[in-house]
Structure 1
């Protein structure tokens, strides 16, 4: 048996939707690995699942999809990392490999895709299983606490950076400055971009200044210069309008979250004319993940984490909902 947290009753985080429980250690199936969890980072997607913004796909699911752990067993017929190998488990769990999206390299759009901590139990537990073809090898010389946020906050932020079509040495606006944004900002700066951060949290504003943002303001403030591109990380549809209005001609806004509140009515002239573009970001491909992990190996970002013991997973989500987390919340198994 193992300790785990499950989403027992989806609802507002104040109603304690998470429940700590005991579950059998899962058995890896064909093509799967059994992984002992070292660290699981806490993602806003976990909060959306707990609160019911993401409709549960199965009852009493174990959330968590930014997992660093060790392979302890291989399922039948599995060719993969040997026991003892450190691996990362991310949001994308499986795809069909056969549909037209998979065949053209857009497996993140596969209609049959499944996700860790939503379609299958995730990392808020001592053990989890994952398909061997969907885990990432991880270095041994870095703390697990600093690696875990790369597996979703980092990868999806990188996907959003690709989707916003930031030109070389361009001006990038970032709306919301939490787990994913603070990593993405550093990647953009390493590539020569100037970063403008709009966020409501005083702690996040201070972190943005420390990391080198050229402008830091409130969540809907107007940056001092037109933006070449922008990424919306905050799940707040009202921010789409000021973000679009801040774009220069031909600029692109990418919405990075899996959930967004309703977007108010757009004014064509103010928000979209002059060939501005609004794009969504849907998960990521494994190629995105591999490319991002190679990039951060060459240019390691500063990862700011707020650690929580495993028995405080519910408090970590409550703090995330209340903007009390600086950087990334991480659950430490030991």
Structure 2
């Protein structure tokens, strides 16, 4: 296992463009066992799928591990079970190379780098798809719950809806961008904060939040991280946070945030840590027009309710908005931020046989940065 925070490693380490591909009949995959609250993950050999005429077959080099995977395997969200779709491998943060194309595919070539993302496919023919909200398309198919996900090394993806990965961005960095960084990107685009705005990231020293800090900095915003510990403080400040509030050492975090933000309060709060919902509205203080952006999923349903007196929303013109996942443009623009060196890689690397261990560590909150699994280790 390696922890990487070095931009010098942000080039692809797998020379796929010139490789000859021998496609096996089976591949390694992390599969869920005993789906539900007591689930576990084990590595098995599974059949390699055959791409349909309009699909590409991707050999993944890396998969990220997202806490949404935990929710899907535990079945603690108000969603159908993976097993209802015949899916055993979760995951929606994949980076690899196209090794085979379907008979009708003319926009991809074997050897091109490609990513597997949360939304596997959409109809492409509704107002939601046309307006950048394709994650909410009523005909959308979601990866890792409705289709085999990135815990499986060989996966198929619709050619028209597969994300290209540019040179200069490692698979280790590209995989998490498929979900976490690009979802933060979508949230900040929708929030439309003005440059110079103070934006708070509760839990910003974690795997999702730390990418949000970097994206916010690239947008010209002023990130504040609320988290605990010297290690997360150093990481947050090195990634662009202007201030760090240690909730274990600070009596009143909201009061400290208000002090930092000119005695008024933050222009926005991006909630990636569900535990922060209960106190999110306090962080905006008396700021007029502040926005609270909701990203972190929590379970069980109804376990946390957040808000304040309705009069506060009216008098301060507050907005609360949710972001599910990114669209194709967000992924492309987030990958470009990484290519330009504006997204620093912060990840812990595991080999494929240690995927069950990585899932358990994430489940217990013991992962530094993002957890990524290398299928070639």
1:159-308 to structure 2, matched below 5 A, reads 159-177=186-204, 178-200=206-228, 203-218=231-246, 221-222=253-254, 223=257, 224=259, 225=261, 226-236=265-275, 239-247=276-284, 248-259=287-298, 261-264=303-306, 266-269=308-311, 273-308=315-350
1:23 matches 2:46: yes
Give 5+ residue unaligned stretches, structure 2: 1-25
1:6 matches 2:27: no
What is the rounded CA distance, in whole Å, between the counterparts of 1:128 and 1:268 in structure 2? Answer: 47
Give 5+ residue unaligned stretches, structure 1: none
What is the rounded CA distance, in whole Å, between the counterparts of 1:104 and 1:152 in structure 2? Answer: 19
Match of 2:58 in 1: 35
Match of 2:12 in 1: none
Structure 1 position 280, deviation (Å): 0.6
What is the rounded CA distance, in whole Å, between the counterparts of 1:141 and 1:173 in structure 2? Answer: 30
Structure 1 position 245, deviation (Å): 1.9
Match of 1:103 in 2: 130
Q: Which of the numbers 147, 150, 159 marks the counterpart of 1:120?
A: 147
3-state secondary structure, aligned to 2:177: helix
Tell me the TM-score normalised to structure 1 length: 0.91
What is the rounded CA distance, in whole Å, between the counterparts of 2:156 and 2:103 in structure 1? Answer: 13
The count of corresponding residues between Structure 1 and Structure 2 is: 330
3-state secondary structure, aligned to 1:87: strand
Structure 1 position 205, deviation (Å): 3.6
Structure 1 position 270, deviation (Å): 5.1
What is the rounded CA distance, in whole Å, between the counterparts of 1:180 and 1:319 in structure 2? Answer: 15
The range that moved more, 317-326 or 292-301, is 292-301
Structure 1 position 269, deviation (Å): 4.2
What is the rounded CA distance, in whole Å, between the counterparts of 2:104 and 2:359 in structure 1? Answer: 38
What is the rounded CA distance, in whole Å, between the counterparts of 1:103 and 1:240 in structure 2? Answer: 31
- Contact preservation (8 Å) 1:196, 1:214: yes
Structure 1 position 323, deviation (Å): 1.9
Residues 53-96 of structure 1: per-residue CA shift (max 9 Å, x gap): 24424244211111111111112312232111111111111111
Distance 1:202 1:122, change over 3 A: farther
Structure 1 position 200, deviation (Å): 4.4
What is the rounded CA distance, in whole Å, between the counterparts of 1:126 and 1:117 in structure 2? Answer: 13
Residues 142-165 of structure 1: per-residue CA shift (max 9 Å, x gap): 432122121111111101112333
Distance 1:97 1:212, change over 3 A: closer
- Contact preservation (8 Å) 1:69, 1:87: yes
Structure 1 position 317, deviation (Å): 1.6
3-state secondary structure, aligned to 2:96: strand
Match of 1:92 in 2: 119
Distance 1:156 1:264, change over 3 A: closer
Structure 1 position 196, deviation (Å): 0.8
Higher RCO, Cα 8 Å, sep 6+? 2
Tell me the TM-score normalised to structure 2 length: 0.81
Distance 1:107 1:323, change over 3 A: same
Structure 1 position 38, deviation (Å): 0.4
Match of 2:5 in 1: none
Distance 1:201 1:29, change over 3 A: farther
Match of 1:144 in 2: 171
The range that moved more, 292-301 or 118-127, is 292-301
3-state secondary structure, aligned to 1:40: strand
- Contact preservation (8 Å) 1:250, 1:274: yes
